[in-house]
A and B are shown apart, each in its own frame.
Chain A
């Protein structure tokens, strides 16, 4: 079964304490990305990766880092979280095909920074 798995699903942390949200996909996709969802703003892309060791900024990259050492994994790193990073985060993985691209989402990670 095609899956994008992210962990943790729920996390409360304190300002400044480094955290990592993991993401893994089992579909051998090259393109992966991270989004954050905020009320009234929809989802916005944070970072993306087009392949191993190839990453780039999305629309709202400030305060985040990513790495892509293996094709299946794309962790999101918050080096020094702040309250404005309280949000719902989604990892996504893209397949390409003759009928167009399909983006698969993980179940989301609720992050609260206090």
Chain B
């Protein structure tokens, strides 16, 4: 079945450091890929998405590129801020009869210190 694997957390960085959170997936066909963010005590927000190979999703300084050859969708940000502290989820949507379903990774907790 479909699955998403994220790098183990938690990740702790200093402000202005470079961030990478790795995400790899297993799916049949050509899924759409997503990053969601959950700030402390809040719900899920869509951060960015990519719907086909080599697409780059970007938002709020975060980027991720859909790499079909390595089945990856790593999240990056060049300079993190304290306000980026949150839990980040990688997810895929396989489409077809599962068009409404997201398969999530386990989440990565990011803490950014001043």
Contact = CB atoms under 8 A, between A and B. Distances in A.
A90 B89 CA distance: 14
A40 B105 CA distance: 9
A42 B89 contact: yes
B101 A48 contact: yes
Given A102-B46, A107-B42, A107-B43, A33 B100 contact: yes
B35 interface: no
A33 B106 CA distance: 19
Which of under 10, 10 to 19, 20 to 34, or 35 or more describes the interface residues of A?
20 to 34
Contacts of A92: 100, 102
B58 interface: no
Given A99-B51, A100-B32, A108-B43, A42 B107 contact: yes
Interface string A73-112: 0000000000000000010101010011111011110000
Contacts of B49: 100, 102
Nearest to B8: A40
A98 to B, nearest CB: 10
Contacts, number: 59
Contacts of A12: none
A22 to B, nearest CB: 16
Interface residues of B, number: 21
Contacts of B46: 102-103
B44 interface: yes
A32 B99 CA distance: 11
B101 A33 contact: yes
A43 interface: yes
A105 B100 contact: no
Contacts of A33: 100-101
Interface in B35-65: 42-44, 46, 49, 51
B72 interface: no
B93 A103 contact: yes
Interface of B: 4, 32, 34, 42-44, 46, 49, 51, 89, 91, 93, 95, 99-102, 104-107
